[in-house]
Amino acid sequence: MAKVRTSPYRQPPTPEGLRAIEEGTLDYFDPEMYSNFNTEVLEEYLEEKTRTEGFGSTTWKWDQILLGLVIGILFAVINQYVGLKVGTIVSGSWYVAYLT
């Protein structure tokens, strides 16, 4: 009978890792995660976890967005006035990026 070639890439998952995946307690930087690298089960678990938990919360706050818009509009109006009156336009976009 011919010898079956094995791949060093795919490894069988450990029982502790499977238990943590089934319970949903496997977290990033756990020892079970490192012992289950190169297992298809871990990759599927991480993809599912990232898809469900990764985009749940947002860091955008409406008051910060509105403040940035108001300051940006203010600088745009001042730039237009100074540009038409004096003939030079000074870019104020980096002020807005810094303040927000």
pLDDT for the residue numbered 70? 92
Q: What is the pLDDT of residues 28-69, one digit of tens each?
A: 788 888 787 777 788 888 888 888 777 766 677 889 889 989
| Alpha-carbon gap, residue 88 to 23, rounded angstroms | 64
Residue 5, pLDDT above cutoff 80: no
Residue 72, pLDDT above cutoff 80: yes
The dihedral over CA atoms of 27, 61, 100, 65, expressed in degrees to the nearest 10, equals 140
Scanning the structure block, which residue is given the tokens 């977290």? Answer: 27
Domain segments of the chain as ranges: 15-53, 62-99
| Alpha-carbon gap, residue 81 to 75, rounded angstroms | 10
Mean pLDDT of the residues in the chain: 77
Instruction: Give pTM, 2 decimals.
Output: 0.43
Q: Which two tokens stand for residue 56?
A: 């749940």
Q: Which two tokens stand for residue 21?
A: 């995946």
More confident call, 77 vs 6: 77
Contact 17, 34 (CB under 8 A): no
Q: Which two tokens stand for residue 46?
A: 């991480």
